Chain A
Amino acid sequence: MTFLGLNERDTRFLLIVVALTMFTPFLLQPFAENSGLAQFNAGYPDLMQRFAIYGIFAIGFNILFGLTGYLSFGHAAFLGVGSYSAVWMFKLLSMNIIPAIILAVIVSGLFALLIGFISLRRTGIYFSILTLAFAQMSFNLAYSVLTPITNGETGLQLTLSDPRILDPESITNSLPSTSLFGLEMNDSAQWEVFGRVFTFSVGYYVCAVIAIIAFYISLRIFRSPFGLMLRAIKTNKTRMAYTGLNTRPYALAAFVISGMYAGLAGGLLASMDPLAGAERMQWTASGEVVLMTILGGAGTLMGPVLGAGFIKYFENIFSKINDNVLHGWFAFMPDGLEDALITLIHPFVGKGWHLTLGMLFMLVVIFLPGGLVELGQRIAGLFRRRKAEDRSDDGSKATTPAE
């Protein structure tokens, strides 16, 4: 079965991704509402949207880093620029997310073209520092001097006095919500069954559809001659140059594409929650997408998405586990044991969520050099081997890397 120009394996892969994305509201809500483990449920609209959006961001980053090996340390700038463009669209034009997202992608693409054109004159760490410098300049200026455009520390928000020239009926005494031709992003429907509450949010499904398209495009890029060229840049730039090929236009194209992905993510973030803050452009945010990609597995298709989900999950779920929750979990234990256990766990949850994340970074990179994708491959390999043993095959068939 082939589909949309993909071969059979890739089609299957894409269909799996589509299925996973569509069933996310179920998959992330495995625990019953009144059980102690409900704390670990992540199936609420905001986090699901973030999974999809940061997945897009990381997929885009991976097109640059995973294929060409250029490590940009300033990609958050494009995300930030995308967010600002989108919010300005909401303020000036209309609450419809389409023009906002389009403008976000265009503006960030142009910004990436400018920065990429300059930064790609250097390679290796010199390139990384150039991109970092541009992003930090954008952040610092957005926080201070550019406040008339960015609203500085507070972040750009909607106000009651915005013009919104395309939908004047939205100007009332309360703030309108973002929408897609009348379908409001913060709408959701809920389904209660088996003691679980599943939330189907309009915003999430909009993000999910866009994420699938983004994933499909990245899949096509990975499989295309263009993708092959980018990989060649990573493997040996000098040899490419000797063959008379100028690699820079290819690298620049990859840079701009990944910048547009970042802008798309930024525009979507603003569409789900119309606020654009300067911290989105800080180096820590750029570092975060680098970490997501490496953590998940750089150069693989699925890895960056896993990495993005992993980090966002810890940030949003682990930071909310406080002592009160711990007491709730261990209430069945004898007092002394309960207190001892809580003292033991306490530093790793709630305000200590950074500690857990840092340790997991180290563990993953030490034991899984290929990132989380390698974990998946190993588990899959384990099953395959067992199956192979059951059939008493010799099992010497090489496993294909599951990208």
Chain B
Amino acid sequence: MANWKKIGAGAGAIAAVAAIGAGTWAYETLETSRSDVADDNVTLATFEANPEAAERGEYVMRMGDCAACHTRGQGEMAGGYEIETPFGKLVSSNITPDTETGIGKMTERDFFNALRQGIGQHGLLYPAMPYTAYAKLTDADMHDLWAYMSTVEPVQNDIDENAGMPFPFNIRLAMAGWDMLFFKNEGFDGDPVADRGRYIVDGAGHCSACHSPRNILGAEQGSAYLHGANVDGWHAPDITSNAAMGVGGTSAEDLARYLGTGTDGVAVASGPMAEAVQHSLQYLTVDDRLAMANYLLSVEDSGAERTAPAKIADSAELAYEVNCSACHGLNGEGIVNAVPAFKGNNALLADPSSLIHVMLNGARAPYTEGARTAAGMPSFAWKMDDAQIASVLDYVRNSWGNQAAAIAPAKVGRMRETLGASQPISALPE
């Protein structure tokens, strides 16, 4: 998905719907009785947290990866992360307890409404905020998170979240339409203790936000839950129990190790997943990561199958030996904890967007307590043309037991353009 032209058209339609006015649908999505459990008198700025609750809340914050968007070099949780969208620019908000520029005036109830239903203090939130997943957070986790947020240092940092959004996208009420269509105003439907893995995966962890494909309007397709999806030039792979393409062949221990360190000894996280591991998942307890892993291994098989193999070009083996093998190994074995192996690495085999992405722009592994190299993948954009990149990737995807379809050089070319990667330095003209 992530075809924003389509989504743009869809959102425009929603804006029109919104303009007609609220109907009965609004009752369901904007109904806030779930927040009745929260206090509506004391503001965040004046709230005095129980230290133990705040500590538990910090853990919830890590699970939800709040800092990923709200800490961007302008102070802890002080917002300021600019998100360019086809509709205009969104800026992540200041969620410190500052009363003027942060959320210091919010009550706990306001906080619950914002986090679980996307109803913010300046109107409805854009679904860049994953309230569709946070909706599943338990009241207890919410109370703790609230307590934690009260301990954050207030930072004065005035942010107009949607100043960069032109009409009609600056009408936050338009999001009501999106909510009506796709937002389920429901809590977690299981036992958050017994179903701990699913609770984290679907709730705070919001894994499906990337790993499930979306429909034309940007909503996740329930029928393809965790089947893998493309997210802006990256492929978030199949993480169902499918053994051919997903994580089915992995042990829960290895999968949990990946979540905690960014590597299971074979694959190494890059791109958005590297950030998720570094800023969020590595802070989870071993038990929680194992619970997530066990749950993922129980997710219904996507049914994906390996495609017919590509024919490997004669020159590709030498290209691999010259450019790749020093790090990735003569037999695709990689360097443990630092450089991904290709042999036995299912994530390579589906959509090649991530592979092309790292070939063009380079990448970095996450830095975690358990894997402290954070090795870099160099960019080859300057060195290899589209056909050379496609060819060497075909080699990687069809060696050491791997099997995947040929990559069209034109796809590399399109990504080169989209990602703004440099053109190859051409070989010597004679």
A and B, one complex?
no
